[in-house]
Amino acid sequence: MRERFILFLTEDEIILHKDSSKKVYSFSDNLEKIQAELKKRVSLSPKTPLCLFIDRNHQDVRDEQLPPLMLWDRLRLLSHKKEGWTSQEKFHGYQFFKQDGKSFLQWINITQNDSLISWISWIKSLSNPLHGVFFVSLEAEKFLKKHFPSSHHYQMLIYKISSHKIRYVIFKGRRLLLLRPWSGEEDLRTSLHFLSRLYPDIHEKLHVLNLLNEIPISFPDAITLPDPQAFIDFLISQKRASCALNIDSSSQNQWVIRGIQFVCYSFLALASFSVYQSLHYQKETRALLSKTEVLKGRIQHKKALLKNKDVIQLRVALDHYYHLNSQMRDPFKVLETLSLALKKNHLRLENLIWNYGQTIEVEIGFFMQNHNESTLSNQFYTLLSSLSTLFPNSHIQIMEAPFKSGSHETYKYPLDLSLPMARIRIVQP
């Protein structure tokens, strides 16, 4: 593993590690003397990268719950946030995450008057490359995951980085709820009491990981690790910060990195689309192949049945079968029903045409009798109503109506003249 300088920055102590030898240098003088002494130490290895770990009581990490937003609305929200962060040349970092079905934006914002600005500027002036700024409170969430796999319960870590400070940090999944210096278990229970106003189940679901044997914890789900250096060793092994700050050595490097990121994201988008399209084509091909196999099986079955058979003779026989099957329906039932309608309406049948195929077509011609003084139209509509009732699923088509001038025309002809003629077609499915 490549050597690195690890610089821990707290409120009252600066600690420098060189992770290959684990040798620790501690400084507690004024700022100028500390930076001068540190520069002597790191200048002995000018090409060794330097990582800055920040551990202080200041609430550096914040998060907020996001409403359900589309992608472009989320980008607009992030753009407005960035404008506020960069308006005074601040350092910032952010990340999105989902938890319990909700979306959150977590960010770090270092203002211009923050004491960290001078430290970051001083580190950037060194010849050693800066390999990230880490916030211990965020990295603690990764450490807790190793011991408490469930990310939906509340988790607390009690640790000590410097020789003077003991802190505890409380998470709910990835959300940082509280970071405070340790002042005893009574203070901790007071803090949990205030947190329970927003998180009422925190007392029942809190899991505690204690790294200090000298601090007894009476919580039922508390675990005490035998190695108090386990957390420090974990921090030193980290290669990438959970939430990276926008720190670049020059504007030219910034544009180069952004260009590389744009090219990489574009390549990933094209590759993802190609993979999706390939998987879709593969799925469709498999579906068609399965259908093809079924059809092949049917063809083989039909070939086995028709083997050594006269196919032409079978086709002729099949045509005869369909023709005979079409003649099996009894036409007299239709004629009997039709005679009832004619008799009921006092009509005299003149001719009948019977066609039978896939449907039954009956065309009738008849004379209308002068049995009353009602209009021809009323007599004719009464017949149509009777036919509709007797043949409910049939289509009735009027081929010729008995009146020419209008529906008011009445039948008043001498006996020597012919009766009015009408023709109707009935089509049954």
The CB density around residue 36, as the number of other CB atoms within 10 Å, is: 11
Whether residues 220 and 260 fall in one domain: no
- Give the residue ranges of DSSP H helices in 220-250: 230-237
337 in the same domain as 234: no
Question: Residue 298: is its pLDDT beyond 50?
Answer: yes
For 167-194, the pLDDT digits (tens) are: 899 998 888 888 888 888 888 889 999 9
Residues 398 and 409 in one domain: yes
174 and 293 part of one domain: no
| Parent domain of 52 | 5-247
Shared-domain flag, residues 227 and 99: yes
Q: Tell me which of 224, 247, 270 is where a domain ends.
A: 247
Q: What is the pLDDT of residue 325?
A: 66
315 lies in some domain: no
Whether residue 115 sits in one domain with residue 17: yes
Cα(first)–Cα(last) distance of the chain, in Å? 86
Q: Are residues 194 and 287 in the same domain?
A: no
Quick check: is 124 in a domain?
A: yes
Q: pLDDT tens digit string along 362-410?
A: 887 877 766 555 677 777 788 888 888 888 878 888 887 766 544 444 4
Q: What is the reported pLDDT for 411?
A: 45
Q: How far apart are CA 355 and CA 363, in angstroms?
A: 8
Spatial distance between the Cα atoms of 154 and 164, rounded to a whole number of angstroms? 27
240 is written with which tokens? 């990438």
Phi (first) and psi of residue 239, to 5 degrees: -100, -25
217, 247, 277 - which closes a domain? 247
Report the C-alpha gap between 114 and 110 in whole angstroms.
6
Averaged over 38-46, what is the pLDDT? 82
Whole-structure pTM value: 0.54
Question: Does residue 97 sit in the same domain as residue 197?
Answer: yes
Closest listed residue to residue 184, CA positions, set 158, 211, 205: 158
**The CATH number of the domain where 381 resides is what?**
3.30.70
Do 42 and 145 fall into the same domain?
A: yes
Q: What is the pLDDT of residues 318-333, one digit of tens each?
A: 777 776 666 666 667 7
How many domains would you assign to the chain? Answer: 3
Check residue 89 and give left, alpha or beta (phi > 0: left; psi -120 to 50: alpha).
left
320 in a structural domain:
no
Are 277 and 242 members of one domain? no
